[in-house]
Copies of this chain bind each other. A is one copy, B any other.
Amino acid sequence: MKLSELGEDAVVSRLTRSLRLDGRVVVRPGDDCAVVETAGSLQLLKTDCIIEGIHFLSDANPRLIGWKAMCRPISDVAAMGGTPRDALVTLAVRPDVEFAWLKRVYSGLEAAARVYGVNLVGGETAKSPGPLFISVALTGSIAGGKYVGRSGGQKGDWLYVTGKLGGSINGRHLRFRPRLAEALWLVAQFPIHAMMDLSDGLASDLPRLAAASKLGFEVDSSSLPLHHGVSIGNGLRDGEDYELLFAVPSSVKTRLEAEWRAKFPKLRLTAIGRLVEKGRTQFTEKGYDHFGR
């Protein structure tokens, strides 16, 4: 069977389900990051890649290509409640590329590393026979062992998203800001049961969080926070929002909303629905799947 027939989630799940891991591995493949015990502390590990023609076009601003490559794994570390630490970059690039262009890509990587306190400690450069390929590996630390995965959601939890959804293809997908400060604050202040970043669109990502928590969900589509001019369908499916999706017990709803407004007055926080018993799901639309049509 071809990968495109299976779909990305099934491919990853089938590739990784038989892995033998030792007792240091706390969170197995399938969450935003792996969680591993290292030297007595929990460490987050994440890799991500962006590829010319898939995640950016050849004529994109090279600085923004670098920015995006670094910010994607930072967003994943943030979504686990972690602090990003050290990054390694692997570049595969055609030999006829101008050094000055590649230097601008690197300056975008460096800019994002600086803004989010990441050490860019090295990496590899290899010859690509075709498209530019940038892979970033990132480590993260966890304060007090309090990481947040996708699987801790409980029935009745409220579901929230930060910011607005949809339309990122018009440029936002290259310029987004990982919600690092917001995630760290949430995890420090509230009992966040489950959290992830929205990379493939709410219609794909929310079912993943619900499935990991062995629950269903009910979302009022008309309540979704949408960017200007974006339809509900696009808000659900476009992907590359890089906003936070999280679940909290209903007991903290009032305090969360009040304290959020005081702490992050410029960034919207929207209650979009709740986690419910397994089997019930609100969405019928299907989000973007890397291997689907």
Interface residues of A in 81-103 (CB under 8 A from B): 85-86, 88-90, 92-100, 102-103
With A6-B99, A34-B88, A122-B28 as known contacts, state yes or no: A39 contacts B43, CB within 8 Å. yes
* Binary flags per residue of A1-19, CB closer than 8 Å to B gives 1, else 0: 1111010100110111011
Q: Residues of A within 8 Å of B, CB-based: how many?
A: 79
Stretch from A123-131, A170-178, A190-198 contacting the other chain: A123-131
Tell yes or no: A25 within 8 A of B by CB.
yes
**Cβ–Cβ contact A24 & B127, under 8 A:** no
Of the candidates B53, B121, B129, which one forms a contact with A29 in the assembled complex, judged by CB atoms under 8 Å apart? B121
Of the candidates B41, B85, B99, B137, which one forms a contact with A3 in the assembled complex, judged by CB atoms under 8 Å apart? B99
Tell yes or no: A139 within 8 A of B by CB.
yes
**Cβ–Cβ contact A95 & B2, under 8 A:** yes
Tell yes or no: A154 within 8 A of B by CB.
no
**Cβ–Cβ contact B95 & A54, under 8 A:** no
> Within the assembled complex, what's the spacing in Å between the Cα atoms of A109 and B46?
17
Of the candidates B49, B93, B103, which one forms a contact with A90 in the assembled complex, judged by CB atoms under 8 Å apart? B49
Q: Which 4 A-B pairs have the closest CB atoms?
A: A137-B137, A29-B122, A34-B121, A4-B95
Q: List 6 A-B contacts (CB under 8 A).
A: A20-B110, A21-B119, A38-B86, A45-B88, A54-B126, A125-B290
